[in-house]
Amino acid sequence: MRAVDVIIHKRDGRELTAEEIDFLVRGIASGEIPDYQIAAWAMAVLWRGMTIRETVRLATSMALSGEQLDLEKWAPGAVDKHSTGGVGDKTTLVVGPIVAACRIPVVKMSGRGLGISGGTIDKWESIPGFRTGLSREEILRQVKEIGLVACGQTAELAPADGRLYALRDVTGTVPSLPLIAASIMSKKLATGARSIVLDVKAGSGAFMETVADASTLARWMVRIGQGAGRRTIALVSGMFQPLGFAVGNALEVREAIETLRGAGPRDFREHCLTVAAAMLQIGGRVPDARMGRALAAEKLDSRDALAKFRALVRAQGGDERACDDLSLLPAAPCRGDLAAEKSGYLAEAHAGKIGLASVRLGAGRAKKGDTIDPAVGIVLKVKVGDKVKKGDPLCEIHAASPEALAQARNELRDAFRIAHEKVKPLPLFYKTIRR
Amino acid sequence: MRAVDVIIHKRDGRELTAEEIDFLVRGIASGEIPDYQIAAWAMAVLWRGMTIRETVRLATSMALSGEQLDLEKWAPGAVDKHSTGGVGDKTTLVVGPIVAACRIPVVKMSGRGLGISGGTIDKWESIPGFRTGLSREEILRQVKEIGLVACGQTAELAPADGRLYALRDVTGTVPSLPLIAASIMSKKLATGARSIVLDVKAGSGAFMETVADASTLARWMVRIGQGAGRRTIALVSGMFQPLGFAVGNALEVREAIETLRGAGPRDFREHCLTVAAAMLQIGGRVPDARMGRALAAEKLDSRDALAKFRALVRAQGGDERACDDLSLLPAAPCRGDLAAEKSGYLAEAHAGKIGLASVRLGAGRAKKGDTIDPAVGIVLKVKVGDKVKKGDPLCEIHAASPEALAQARNELRDAFRIAHEKVKPLPLFYKTIRR
C-alpha cells in the first residue's frame, strides 16, 4: 500500500477501507508517512468528508496508536465525561464528586487551558498544594480508596492524533467535523472507559459557534463512541454566555465549592445536575435521567459530594481547609466593577469576548507554554435575561494590576449588551443525542 | 503574511491575491514554506480551482523564481514550440529545421522521456556523437551561426515549479488543470520566447485522454501565455494512436530523416506541416496558416530543412553521415512482426499500450534515471482506417533479445483491434485555440 494512493482515493471521494485507515494511522504514528502526505490527505478529507465507518475506524486506530489505559480494569464501571471546552466551565469540579459520591468511579483526565477555553487542570492547580501529575500507581491506589481522581494525561494517549492535530493546525485543516470528532474520541477511547458522557458546547465561547454545528459534532462523537462499543451520549449545551458567574481559575474553584455547599449560581448548579444525571444513568446507577437528577441533587444537598471533593483535595496534596475557608485560595490584588451604562435587560454577555478578556488578564494562555495567574479573572453579576439598572455592576474584574484592570474594563464594555425590551433567559441545554 | 492563511483562503474558495501567490511561490522556491503547507494548498487548489488571474500570476511568479533565459535577446524573433508529450512524437526533429530554414530562430529545449511519453533529448542522443548538454555560450554561438539549437535545459528554469511538481507527484495533486498549465507555462515563460506554439495531445498515449480535457488544458495554457504577454496559440492533436509509424528513439530519428527527405508517413508529414505553419504564422513570417503550410512544404521538398537538420547535427557533434546512411543509426539485433489475426479494417492502435510495450522493450523509462536502449522500439505497418489482411504485419518489433521480442509481441496483441466494417481514419487535429 502507498500513502499517495490513499490520498488519491480520498481525493476522488471514495470511502477508505479499514486497512487504508490503519495504514495511514500507523504511518502517522511511526513517522513513516511524511508530513506533506498527511497534510494533503487532511485537506482531501475537508473536501470530501468521511463516512461514519471511516471515522469510527480512524478514532479507534488512533486510540490504538499509543499506550492505552485499561480504566475498566482499574475502576470497573467508571464513567468518563468530556466537555468540548468553554468559558467558565468548571463542571468537572462538581460532577466528579457527585458521581463518585454515588459510588461510580471517576478518573478524570483533563488538559490545560488554551485560548479562551479554560483547562480543568489549571483550575485544580489553583488550590494550594494540589498535584495533578500522578503516576499510574497513584491513580490506581486513589481510585480504589476514594473512587475519584483528577489528573493530567499520564501517558501519551493516541500519539497519532497528536501528530495529526499539530499538522492540521498549520495547514488550515482543523475545521472538519469527522476529524475533530475522531481526534476527541481517540483520546477517550484510549482511556478505556466503557461509558462516556459528552458535553458539547455551542456558542461564541465554544469551538462550535452554532447549535446546529455543535449538534452535528455531538452526533459524530456519539456515533464514534457507539461504533467503538462504548455507551455514549452527548448533551448539547449553551456557551453563548459564560457558564455560572466565575471565569478564572481560583474564582471558578471558589464557585464550585460554593455549589458543592448547596449554593452557587442557579444555571451552573442546574448544568451540573444534568451532566451528573446523564453520567449516573449511563453508568447504570439509575434507570433514567429524572432519577439521576434527583440522586445528584441529594448528594449535593447532603454535602456527600462536598465530602468527596474534600477527600480528593486531601488525597492529591491540596489544602483541604480551602473547602471551608475560601480566603485560602489565591486572590487578585486589584478588583473593580464594570457598571451598566443604561437600564434594561441583559441581552448579551458574549462568552468569546469575556473569555478573551480573561486570557488577557492572565487567567489563560494565548499560546502553549504561557504561564497563567490563578487569581485573576472575571465574575459576572448578571446573566442574560436579568433586569439591569444603570450604574449596577455587570461584572467584577479581578486583576494583577490597576492597568490590567482598566484595560479589561475597556475590553469588556463591548461584551455586554442591554436591551429595552424584556429578554428571555438562555437555555442551558439544547438537546440530548443518544445515537 | 502567513502560509496557513493563504491555504485557508484557498480552502474557503477565495481568489488569492497577486501578493499571496508571490509570497507562496517565493516560499516554495526558498524552502521557507514547509512541504506540508504546500501540499495542503495544492489539494485545496484541486478542490476549489483557480481563476485565470491566479493562474497567470502563479505561472509568471514561478517563471521569475529562478534563472531566466533572455531568448529574445539571443535570438530575436525566436519561436518556441511545446508538445505535451505522446507516443512517437518526433515533431520537433522536423519542424525545428523547417522553421529555422525559414530564417526564424529556434532554440528548442527539451526533456528526457518518462513513462510512455518519449523525450526529444533521448531521440537526438540516439544519433551517434550528438551532444545536448550545451553551455549558454555554445547555444548563443550556434543560434547565431545556424539559427537552430536542440538542447536540454541549461539552467534550473522555474525552480519553484520543480519543487511544487515533485510534491504534487507524491500527494495526489497532479490532476489540476490550472496547476498543470501553470507548471508547463512557467518553464516556457522562463525561456523568454515571445511566441509560443503549443501542441496539446488528446488520447490514450497522452496526459489528457479526451479531446475535451486537452482542449481545456490548451485554453488554460493559451490564456496564461497571453496573460503573460506572449503570442500563444495551441493546436489540439490526436494521440489515440502513435504519431507516424515509428516509436523508439533511433527508429523515430530515422523516420524524421525520411520525412525531411520528402518521404515519411503521411500523417506525420501533415502534422509537421501544420505545426510549422503555426510557428511561421505566429512568428510573423507568413500572414496566415495556409501560406505557412505552403512555405513549410516548400522547405521540405527543396531539402532546405534537411540541410538545416544536417547543419544542426554537425554543430552538436553528431555523425551527419547518418542523414545519408540510416544504417549508421543504432539498430536492434532482434526483429519480428506482429501479424493480424483476422482481416478487416484497423479500428484501434492503442497509443497507451504501444507506448507501454515500447518502454518495456527499453525505449523509455519506467522511472527517472533508468537507462534506455536507443535502438529498440516498434514500427507500425498500418494505421487506423487501413485495410488489413489476416497474416499481414500490424507492426515490426525491434528488440534487444528474442525474449523481449516475444514478450512485446504478446503485449502488443491487445493494442490492436480489427473491425469488419470500414473505419474512418482518425483526425490529426481537433482544434486550434487562439484565446
Q: What is the DSSP string of A76-108?
A: TT-EEEEE---SS--HHHHHHHHHHHTT--EEE
Place of cell 536542440: B150
What is the grid cell recorded at B326? 540510416
CB contact under 8 Å between A40 and B35, yes or no, is no
Amino acid B115: pLDDT: 82
CB distance A172 to B16 below 8 Å: no
| A187 has catalytic annotation | yes
User: Residue A273: in which H helix or E strand, if any?
Assistant: helix A266-282
Amino acid B303: pLDDT: 97
Q: Which residues contact B402 (CB under 8 A, 6 or more apart)?
A: B334
Q: What is the DSSP string of B167-205?
A: HHHHTT----HHHHHHHHHHHHHHHT-SEEEEEEEESTT
CA A47, CA A50: separation in Å to the nearest integer? 9
CB-closest option in B38, B40, B42 to A172 = B40
Q: Which residues contact B302 (CB under 8 A, 6 or more apart)?
A: none
Amino acid B159: pLDDT: 87
Count CB neighbours of B435 within 10 A.
Answer: 10
Amino acid A156: pLDDT: 74
* Whether A37 contacts chain B with CB within 8 A: yes
Residue A83, pLDDT above cutoff 70: yes
Q: What is the pLDDT confidence band of residue A142, given thresholds at 50, 70 and 90? A: very high
- Tell which residue, A322, A364, A303, A352, has the closest CA to residue A94: A303
Buried b (16+ CB within 10 A) or exposed e, A304-330: bbbbbbbbbbebbebebebbeeeeebb
CB distance B202 to B214 below 8 Å: yes
CB distance A54 to A178 below 8 Å: yes
CA atoms within 13 A on the CB side of A384: 20
Amino acid A14: pLDDT: 97
CB-closest option in B4, B42, B44 to A170 = B4
To the nearest whole angstrom, how far is the Cα of B399 from the nearest Cα of chain A? 33
* Whether A45 contacts chain B with CB within 8 A: no
Q: What is the DSSP string of A387-431?
A: EE-TT-EEEEEEESSHHHHHHHHHHHGGGEEEESS--PPPPSEEE
Average pLDDT along chain A: 94
CB distance B337 to B395 below 8 Å: yes
Q: Tell me the per-residue pLDDT of A378-427, one tens digit each, with 9 for 90 and over.
A: 999 999 999 999 999 999 999 999 999 999 999 999 999 999 999 999 99
| B183 has catalytic annotation | yes
Low pLDDT (below 70) residues in chain B: 154-155
Chain B residues within an 8 Å CB radius of A3: 170
Residue A234, pLDDT above cutoff 70: yes
* Whether B28 contacts chain A with CB within 8 A: no
- Tell which residue, B94, B71, B158, B123, has the closest CA to residue B318: B123
CB-closest option in A5, A8, A39 to B39 = A39
Q: What is the pLDDT confidence band of residue A135, given thresholds at 50, 70 and 90? A: confident
Residue A278, pLDDT above cutoff 90: yes
At A388, the amino acid letter reads V
Amino acid A73: pLDDT: 82
CA B367, CA A393: separation in Å to the nearest integer? 74
CB contact under 8 Å between B46 and A11, yes or no, is yes
Average pLDDT over residues A204-211: 94
| Interface probe, candidates A5, A7, A43, chain B, greatest B C-beta count within 10 A | A43
CB contact under 8 Å between A37 and B8, yes or no, is no
CA A432, CA A200: separation in Å to the nearest integer? 10
Amino acid B112: pLDDT: 82
Chain A residues within an 8 Å CB radius of B11: 43, 46, 172-173
At B70, the amino acid letter reads D
Task: Region of A281 please: left (phi>0), alpha (psi -120 to 50) or beta.
Answer: alpha
CA B304, CA A433: separation in Å to the nearest integer? 82
To the nearest whole angstrom, how far is the Cα of B433 from the nearest Cα of chain A? 30
Amino acid B172: pLDDT: 94
Q: Tell me the per-residue pLDDT of A318-371, one tens digit each, with 9 for 90 and over.
A: 999 999 999 999 999 999 999 999 999 999 999 999 999 999 999 998 888 889
Instruction: Check the CA dihedral A341-A345-A348-A354 and report its sign.
Output: positive
* Whether A13 contacts chain B with CB within 8 A: no
Q: Which residues contact A2 (CB under 8 A, 6 or more apart)?
A: none
At B172, the amino acid letter reads G
pTM for this prediction: 0.86
Amino acid A112: pLDDT: 83
Q: Tell me the per-residue pLDDT of B328-351, one tens digit each, with 9 for 90 and over.
A: 999 999 999 999 999 999 999 999
Q: What ipTM did this prediction achieve?
A: 0.84
User: Residue A237: in which H helix or E strand, if any?
Assistant: strand A231-238
Q: What is the pLDDT confidence band of residue A33, given thresholds at 50, 70 and 90? A: very high
Place of cell 492547580: A125
CB distance A252 to A363 below 8 Å: no
